[in-house]
Structure 1
Amino acid sequence: MKQLILLCVALLYSYCSQAYIYDFEEGALLKVSGQVIDQKTNEPLPFANIIYDNTGTTTNLDGEFVFQITYHQPENSLLIKFIGYETAIVPLTYDNTKLKVTLIPKTEILDEVIVVRADQLLEDVNTYHQINYEFSNQLLSSYYKETVSSNDECIYLAEGIFDIYYPTVYSKEKATIHPRKTRKKVFASLDTMVMPLINGHATDMINGITRRADSFINADMLNNYEFSKEGLTWYDGKEIFKIHFEPKNKKGNSSGTIFIDSKSKAVIRAEYQPVLNGQQFWKKVKWIEEYKEVNSSWYIHRVSYLGQWEQNGEPITFEALLVVTDFESVKKRPELTEALTKNDIFFNHASSFSENFWEGFNYIKLSAKEKQTLGF
């Protein structure tokens, strides 16, 4: 009898242990969090891309991330990607949803077998454009944040969760933004400040260089720029061309760096600064766009904007961040209410800036410095 009891206990323990390490059930809702750091420097990596099926996020300034996913058996691992690093593949198990991920810098660059000119690469970008980007209308779930700061002191902080209807690049429809939940906090009086282009949403940000008619990568605009190769880097196991560009004439209105996937010929990242000659307000402007690949198509993933001006001799900085966290293909425009116009300001005050404010939504964690400013 005693041996039978011991056998039953042993079998029960074995069953529980095996159940513990088995994968999650199909369709389970998981909350995954962690931090991404550089193996060489042991420093956090801001804006690393965290990808799981159609769900994705990015790390904050402290390299931290948190997001919810619907578990699918075939997609049982997170992918953590960053330009210049090896992609990390992290399996999800019951005891592995709070992660510390170390990315390894990838310095090995293969010699180019075929010499490719920078202008030829941009022609390839246009040739493959119709197969690289969105074939269908998309419904995007997105997190948005904007801040105004002076001398590293936060003056204003606002956040929102959006539903965005994002029509295919072949449609004449425009993207529309619908707020789901929002909050803001003002730390100083804004009455005496000039607050340009702060409309509380991202109608300009969502339409990246792959969609704008006057984009510097468009075939009709290429002759207005000088393109030169800066070299090669890595992203997700593939070689990436780094292309620098400058205006060639007055029709060229930006300069910066484009990162082009050597295989698909898709632009996966762009860093650019508009030409500011002839205007008196902005002292500095910079855009960064990143795209993610899902099933051989590239989708907008992250857009950030930085603008700086001076007031009474003091630099004032406006920063905005948009991250697409989920998307799904839709056949037609969904029935969404309260679509924002370009000039709408929609943020509501929030009495609490606690971490659980966004419970049920995917968002980007505030950094330690931002939390300190908020007093928690």
Structure 2
Amino acid sequence: MNRTIKLSISKFQNLWILVIFLVLSGIPLTAKTLQQLPEAIQDFSEFRGTIIDSQSKEPLAFATINVLETNISTITNSDGEFLLKVPSSYISNSIHISFLGYQTKTIPLSSLNGEDIHILLEEAAMQLSEIKINAPKDAKSLVKAALDKKGEYNLSEETVMTAFYRETIKKRRRDASLSEAIVEIYRQPSSSSKADKIKLIKARKSTDYSRLDTLAVKLQGGPFSAIYADVIKYPQFIFNDITFAEYEFSFDKPTEINNRSVYVVKFKQRPNITEPMHYGKLYIDAETFSLISAIYNLNVENRERAAELFVKKKPNRVTVYPTEAAYRVDYRLKDNKWHYGYSNILLTFKVNWKGRLFNSVYTLSSEMAVTDWAKTLNDDPTRRETLRPTVILSEEASGFSDPAFWGEYNIIEPEKSIESAIDKINRHLEKQKETN
């Protein structure tokens, strides 16, 4: 059985997200020319603020803000900050703020000023007795029901989603690379075996390869790595017919989201399994048994096997292994259907060079947020227009110089550290140019 699991997981991980380690030749990578689409001519207003816990006053990361009666939405960054761009035609609408384990809040846009908005959310008190008793007899059966019901309560028709994608690379705590993109996801129904397509609309990057030492770290898969974290659309990558039986499932304390009761199920691999598998929590709607969030990690205790899953190529004098692989995916409810809304991935690697006293630690993170969507018309992109699942975004992106690059597109508000990192990287590169 372990041999079968090994092959299954290895195949999944290599398709899902790959990290390439290559020795640099000293010649900077050439960015491909990006065909930029014209901006839509439309007035819009910006709303910038922070979502905060009403008691602790701590910021709430990954809270969702959407404009009611539209498909426009965004999400807070790790500092709880958000930037929402709303077309003028929707200024009379309200925004809906939701966060796992907290009471939702609805606020008219007309009551908000444009900047320095502080929105307090109150924690939802949930008792076990409040959860309905129509759940399957055990946690494993509940997870099976959630996976089986994906065609009933998830999007059942092809949809075009507009999404913002960001990926960063850090060497220890120093930012070395940042790439961002606006993409269109040609999303297939959750019950369909067809793979999603992604079309690149805009992209930009800022990279200081000198901070990557003599090692170039690239994230292969780009936006595809984010959508492959979707447990509902791609369950075979975690809970396939082979691996499902190798997990242990148990109930955790229930919670609430969007004023709906939510079961929390913990899962981990069985003690006798030595191959790297996943562990974490699944959040399942108590009424429909639909998966609404998944927060999980890959077990990287087996360093050699974990390294084989991620590292595609490296110099012979280098030992590379992951120390952390964390994933998250959130779904949003629209017209009684759940759809993919947000995902993020955090990977940390330790790099040991033979003959060197100190090692290097690299952190690669990526996140994608759906900011708008509509039912598709018969205008599927051509093969030339779509990205390959093995795409490396930094090779598709242009520079980072245009301040009005995104126009009215909704993006995830950058962290302060990222903002300062861009400035530092650009200043460093400018100095290099002047020196040369």
- TM-score norm. by structure 2 comes to 0.73
- Displacement of 1:214: 1.7
Could you tell me which residue of structure 1 aligns to residue 414 of structure 2?
366
Measure, in 2, the Cα distance between the counterparts of 1:94 and 1:41: 25
Residue by residue, what CA displacement relative to the aligned partner does 1:313-346 show, whole Å, maximum 9, x if unpaired? Answer: 2221100011111111115452365211123334
Tell me whether 1:159 sits opposite 2:180 in the alignment.
yes
Tell me whether 1:279 sits opposite 2:306 in the alignment.
yes
Structure 1 residues without counterparts, runs of 5 or longer: 1-26
> What letter is aligned with 1:309?
F
Q: What is the count of residue pairs matched by the alignment? A: 348
Identify if the C-alpha distance between structure 1 residues 67 and 160 changes in structure 2 by more than 3 Å, giving closer, same or farther.
same
Could you say which structure has the greater relative contact order, defined with CA pairs below 8 angstroms and 6 or more residues apart? 2
> What letter is aligned with 2:101?
G
Could you tell me which residue of structure 1 aligns to residue 311 of structure 2?
none
Could you tell me which residue of structure 1 aligns to residue 76 of structure 2?
59
Measure, in 2, the Cα distance between the counterparts of 1:353 and 1:44: 30
Structure 2 residues without counterparts, runs of 5 or longer: 1-41, 308-320, 353-358, 425-436
SS of residue in 1 equivalent to 2:82? strand
Q: Where do residues 1-376 of structure 1 align in structure 2 (5 Å cutoff)?
A: 29-52=44-67, 53-70=70-87, 76-93=93-110, 96-98=113-115, 99-111=117-129, 112=131, 114=133, 116-189=137-210, 190=212, 192-196=214-218, 198-199=219-220, 201-207=222-228, 208-217=230-239, 221-248=243-270, 250=273, 253-276=277-300, 277=302, 278-280=305-307, 281-312=321-352, 313-332=359-378, 334-335=380-381, 338-345=385-392, 346-352=395-401, 354=403, 356-375=404-423
- Displacement of 1:122: 1.5
- Displacement of 1:173: 2.9
> What letter is aligned with 2:171?
S
Could you tell me which residue of structure 1 aligns to residue 355 of structure 2?
none
- Displacement of 1:216: 4.0
235-244 or 249-258: which moved more? 249-258
Measure, in 2, the Cα distance between the counterparts of 1:371 and 1:151: 17
- Displacement of 1:358: 1.6
Identify if the C-alpha distance between structure 1 residues 29 and 185 changes in structure 2 by more than 3 Å, giving closer, same or farther.
closer
SS of residue in 2 equivalent to 1:165? strand
Residue by residue, what CA displacement relative to the aligned partner does 1:186-216 show, whole Å, maximum 9, x if unpaired? Answer: 13424721525x1372213213111225244
Looking at secondary structure, tell me which structure has more helix per residue.
2
- Displacement of 1:370: 1.5
Residue by residue, what CA displacement relative to the aligned partner does 1:272-328 show, whole Å, maximum 9, x if unpaired? Answer: 122433233322111111111101111111110011111232221100011111111
SS of residue in 1 equivalent to 2:287? coil
Residue by residue, what CA displacement relative to the aligned partner does 1:138-189 show, whole Å, maximum 9, x if unpaired? Answer: 1111111111112211011111111111111343432111111111111342
Measure, in 2, the Cα distance between the counterparts of 1:108 and 1:351: 46
Q: Once superposed, what is the RMSD of the aligned Cα atoms?
A: 2.7
Identify if the C-alpha distance between structure 1 residues 261 and 351 changes in structure 2 by more than 3 Å, giving closer, same or farther.
closer
CA contact (8 A) 1:216 1:225 kept: no
Measure, in 2, the Cα distance between the counterparts of 1:58 and 1:187: 28
- Displacement of 1:95: 5.3
- TM-score norm. by structure 1 comes to 0.84
Measure, in 2, the Cα distance between the counterparts of 1:129 and 1:347: 34
Identify if the C-alpha distance between structure 1 residues 212 and 32 changes in structure 2 by more than 3 Å, giving closer, same or farther.
same
> What letter is aligned with 1:104?
E
> What letter is aligned with 1:212?
Y
